[in-house]
A and B are shown apart, each in its own frame.
Chain A
Amino acid sequence: MSESLILHGECLLPGETSAPVVRLSAPLSLWGGFSLEDGTVCDVNHPDYGSRLAGRVLVMPGGRGSSSSSSVLLESARLGTHPRALVLAGRDPILVVGALVAAELYRVSIPVIRLSPGDLERASTGGFARVFSRPESAFIELGGKNSEFGIK
């Protein structure tokens, strides 16, 4: 990939990171759907069962609403199996709260941005992304020079 694509969104939690992308085709409840041990999707009914989320920019429509997902995100930050950033289609307070507490308790930064549902689909698993999230400007940069991300 040589051309980079920049998609602008809304900052839900500030931060910056670069990592490989994993895009889920359906919302995932981290509670009951995400394995804290190995950082993968463990909901057998989810279309992306087995996908690795740890260390990735997690792009997904949303979180399905279980409030225990805040706790699961926090616990993953403690264990180091957390996604590096969250890119969502909605203003999901549950995941933002989990990420906010992770920053406060463990100094683990998990920036969160919201994109339009159409833009969300333009990110694909296996690509690379830079996430930049500030109240005044938030975007995800897809592709670009891979060397810039330090990953072959």
Chain B
Amino acid sequence: MFLDEIDKALLGGEFGESARRAMRLLLPYGEILGAQRFIDIASAHIDSCLYHGRSGLDFVRYLQEGDGRVRVRTTLNVTAFDLEQPELSRVPGEAVRIQRDMVDAYLSLGCLPTMTCAPYQQAQRPGFGEHVAWAESNAIVFANSALGARTDRYGDFTDICAALAGRVPAAGLHLDENRLPVLLLDVPGPDETDLERDLYFAALGYLLGEIAGSRVAAITGAPLDTNEDELKAIGAAAASSGGVALFHLVGVTPEAPTLADLPGGSVAHRKRISKIDLAAAADRLCPAEVGEAVAALCLGTPHFSLAEFRDLAGRVDGWQPAPGVDLIVSTSRTIAEQVRGAPWAASLRSVGVTLISDTCTYLVPTAIRSDGIIVTPSAKYAHYAHGNTGRRTALMSLARCLRCAASGQVVP
């Protein structure tokens, strides 16, 4: 790889030992990716802070050598439990201690205590065309697709190294040529399907990931008023069933005002999606049988936005869950604070919603009182939760989730 003066200085230790160690990892990483050179980044989002074992702490301690500081604005992804309410998650004491030490170490490097998988819901976020180094699959696909920022698939170890160096290899989705679609999906609009609107976006994303794998796709036919929370749902689902890190929703996402704005779009492999395909994708994530007991409704995978809370507050006004059924919403600290004190959120308090921050309920077993299936409108949750937590889960529209939670059993 060609090294600029700054890269040589970083490798030579002129920016301290932390930055030197970071760069020593980024250099072979860049070579494997086939990069020619390094480029500057404007921000980083770190997933290495999530506990997977003692080695995660050993690694960040290794990078702390020599009083290192991140060189760009750096946010933290979720941890294994709510740092202020650890009792809500079932995590062994040793893991709790190590996870806390890890967070402290990342904060000492200058990372911000956001602990959210949705850094794009924070006030400050990447601009169009800006290079960033984001980890966490749903954040990556959102930054690239919804914001038009440019991040490759950063993850454990490369994310914090990029933050300490302020540099990344010019590879993958940082480059124009890799952002063009190689696949074009024609989809029906939600009104042309039998799915409710939220389930439509979950199913669309899940099918996108299954079809595209890790390729870039453009989608035509989706509603032009698709909002950010709906883009979040598509991306999170597509990054769960596949490795999608960028998609273009023609007429909605910023790199694709029209199909003609995507030079590859005209030659891309074209595939028509039917309403039956979408319904089948939703069904694959819904193993529930009518009549079986419901234990909980889990929301906020990825983290619930303020707009989603406002919508939920309206829906649960005058609604009650069946006895023993938990309603748990994962969100960031920032948004939880706004919700806790808000007059419009009184209905959430009166139905006993549990707000959980710093983590997500699909990662580790959550303190849920009853046995039974968990219902969720999140395809990402439905994809991962059973494997991670041992609890059966079923994807359905939020409206149906609420009907199930109110009756204590799965209803059509």
Contact = CB atoms under 8 A, between A and B. Distances in A.
A91 B58 CA distance: 26
B59 interface: yes
A82 to B, nearest CB: 11
Given A68-B50, A91-B32, A32 B388 contact: yes
Contacts of A77: 55
Contact of A75 (B28, B53, B62, B387): B53
Nearest to A78: B55
Contacts of B154: 67
B18 to A, nearest CB: 13
Interface string A53-73: 000000000001111111110
Interface in B373-412: 384, 387-388
B53 A70 contact: no
Contacts of B34: 91
Contacts of B25: 97, 100-101, 104
Contacts of A41: none
Nearest to A10: B32
Given A70-B156, A97-B25, A97-B156, A75 B52 contact: yes
A96 interface: yes
Interface string B126-137: 000000000101
**Which of the listed residues B32, B62, B137, B214 has the most CB atoms from chain A within 10 Å of its own CB?**
B32
B52 A72 contact: yes
**Which of the listed residues B29, B52, B154 has the most CB atoms from chain A within 10 Å of its own CB?**
B52
Contacts, number: 90
B33 A93 contact: yes
A67 B47 contact: yes
Given A94-B155, A97-B156, A101-B157, A71 B55 contact: yes
B54 interface: yes
Contacts of B47: 67-68
B55 A75 contact: yes
A43 B387 CA distance: 8
A101 B59 contact: yes
B89 interface: no
A74 B55 contact: yes
A79 B384 CA distance: 25
Contacts of A36: 53
B32 A105 contact: no
A80 to B, nearest CB: 12
A71 B387 contact: no
A98 interface: yes
B251 interface: no
Contacts of B33: 91, 93
B361 interface: no
Contacts of B32: 12, 91, 93, 96
A96 B358 CA distance: 29
Interface string A1-28: 0000000000011000000000000000
B29 A78 contact: no
B166 interface: no
B48 interface: yes
A36 to B, nearest CB: 7
B76 to A, nearest CB: 15
B56 interface: yes
A114 B47 CA distance: 27
Contacts of A96: 28-29, 32
Interface string B344-382: 000000000000000000000000000000000000000
B287 to A, nearest CB: 14
Interface string B256-299: 00000000000000000000000000000000000000000000
Nearest to A70: B156
A67 B156 contact: yes
B302 interface: no
Contact of A32 (B54, B153, B387): B387
Interface in B32-85: 32-34, 47-48, 50, 52-56, 58-59, 62
8 contacts: A67-B158, A71-B50, A78-B55, A79-B53, A94-B156, A100-B28, A104-B25, A106-B58
Q: Which 7 A-B pairs have the closest CB atoms?
A: A67-B155, A75-B53, A65-B243, A70-B156, A71-B52, A71-B156, A75-B55
Interface of A: 12-13, 31-32, 36, 43, 64-72, 74-75, 77-79, 91, 93-94, 96-98, 100-101, 104-106
Given A67-B137, A96-B32, A105-B58, 20 more contacts: A31-B52, A43-B387, A67-B154, A68-B156, A71-B50, A71-B52, A71-B56, A74-B55, A74-B59, A93-B29, A93-B32, A94-B156, A96-B28, A97-B157, A97-B158, A100-B25, A101-B25, A101-B157, A105-B62, A106-B58
